[in-house]
């Protein structure tokens, strides 16, 4: 409990970089909120908001509301489309990593793969899928539980 939140987030990002065997160059997340700004109570309630840590470290956190519609999907799909457009316009080849267990993103990930982009999808169930760019197959992955990794 006494670990600095930046050290914790760096450990997570180093772990993702290790899985990808590539540096993490940008991080984006989606947060459900009804407020334009984070309420002061979140700063003083004693709990650390990992999205705030991500923001403070330079990550991008998109805000969506209401929670029950497809706003999160719209943000993620829009950002994936922007990512692919940049590569198509001659930007550097990069790896797209999605941290989500939702399989409804897989058609978009397969479309990115067909355009030559390598994609990795990691879930909270200690599994993932590797979509090698320009290929038409997927490689399933198994990972150690986070509880075993975080203390290393």
pLDDT at 36 over 90: no
Strand, coil or helix: what is 11?
Answer: helix
- What does the pLDDT read at residue 134? 93
Q: What is the biggest distance separating any 2 CA atoms in the chain, rounded to whole angstroms?
A: 50
Residues 147, 131: contact at Cβ < 8 Å? no
Give the C-alpha separation, 24 to 123, whole Å: 17
- By CB neighbour count within 10 A (0-12 exposed, 13-18 middle, 19+ buried), where does 147 fall? exposed
Q: Which residues contact 104 (CB under 8 A, 6 or more apart)?
A: 73
Give the C-alpha separation, 64 to 111, whole Å: 25
The overall average pLDDT reported for the chain is 85
> By mean pLDDT, which of 3-7, 9-13, 69-73, 129-133 is the weakest?
69-73
- What does the pLDDT read at residue 125? 84
Residues 62-94: pLDDT tens digits?
Answer: 888 766 667 888 888 899 999 999 998 998 889
| Residue 103 binned pLDDT confidence (cut-offs 50, 70, 90) | confident
Torsion sign, CA atoms 18, 22, 25, 27: negative
């Amino acid at each position: 409990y006494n670990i600095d939140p930046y050290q914790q987030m760096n450990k997570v990002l180093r772990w993702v970089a290790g899985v990808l065997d590539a540096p993490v160059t940008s991080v984006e997340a989606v947060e459900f909120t009804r407020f334009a700004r984070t309420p002061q109570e979140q700063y003083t309630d004693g709990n650390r908001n990992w999205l705030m840590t991500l923001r403070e470290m330079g990550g991008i956190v998109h805000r969506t509301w209401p929670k029950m519609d497809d706003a999160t999907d719209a943000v993620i799909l829009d950002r994936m489309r922007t990512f692919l457009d940049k590569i198509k316009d001659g930007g550097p080849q990069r790896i797209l990593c999605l941290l989500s267990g939702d399989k409804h993103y897989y058609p978009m990930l397969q479309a990115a793969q067909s355009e030559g982009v390598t994609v990795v999808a990691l879930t909270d169930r200690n599994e993932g899928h590797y979509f090698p760019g320009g290929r038409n197959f997927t490689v399933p992955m198994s990972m150690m539980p986070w509880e075993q990794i975080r203390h290393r």
